[in-house]
Structure 1
């Protein structure tokens, strides 16, 4: 049976020294790993790509589901994983839920992984 990772709040953008700067402590390693784990699925990568392409706003669950050819419930599950990792924010607008990429969280993750690419 796989080892269960401890629950920590990863909703805020990651804030630790770059992993290449020095060996990271256990907590920082866990924070990075949980965010990467949320992205370690092809559907979630595609959803992030779709959301990042929306320069002027967000996309609703129905449009995202159509774009990835999956049921809305499946897409909602994937979006929930991305939201838990702090990479997506969701807001209810009437009867639908709109989702947007948290660019600050993605930039912070990129910086932690490879600070030279983010200058």
Structure 2
């Protein structure tokens, strides 16, 4: 096959997992080539942890809160700044933030009377890598 006039090999068009399976090459035990969901069956604990995180971000308000916090100046936002972005009461916003906190997707720090939220990169990366082929990060138990 040719792309832009240059010959391309078959692996150029498929991912590393498919290439290894087709060529009967096996990587080391530590080498992870597929998303955790595609690589091997998840344990009950892994699937429960991932399901909680997916459920947390499946709500449009929580997904938007996560986005607002992550894109805010310095990567953190005060709850007082988040409430104004929604036509919801402050207790409802606090409930959604608690769900995100309980799943580990955000952390909270009280400063005086205000609470500041920051996105936790590791749980977010686990969530993203769970269904992304080619990721190298395993999902911890």
Normalised-by-shorter TM-score class: 0.7 to 0.9
Say which SS state the counterpart of residue 29 (structure 1) adopts.
helix
Runs of 4+ in 1 over 3 A off after TM superposition: none
Which structure 2 segments of 5+ residues have no match?
A: 1-34
Whether the 8 Å contact between 1:19 and 1:113 is mirrored in structure 2 is: yes
Whether the 8 Å contact between 1:44 and 1:82 is mirrored in structure 2 is: yes
Which structure 1 segments of 5+ residues have no match?
A: 1-16
Question: How many residues of Structure 1 are paired with residues of Structure 2 in the alignment?
Answer: 103
Q: Cα RMSD between the aligned structures? A: 1.9
Q: Which residue of structure 2 lines up, in the alignment, with residue 61 of structure 1? A: 79
Deviation, 1:117, is 5.9
Greater mean alpha carbon deviation, residues 99-108 or residues 17-26: 17-26
Q: Which residue of structure 1 lines up, in the alignment, with residue 116 of structure 2? A: 98
Say which SS state the counterpart of residue 63 (structure 1) adopts.
helix
1:8-48 Cα distance to aligned partner (Å, 9 max, x none): xxxxxxxxx71110121222111111111111100000001
The two structures have a TM-score, normalised by structure 2, of 0.66
The change in CA–CA distance for 1:65 and 1:118 in structure 2 (over 3 A counts) is farther
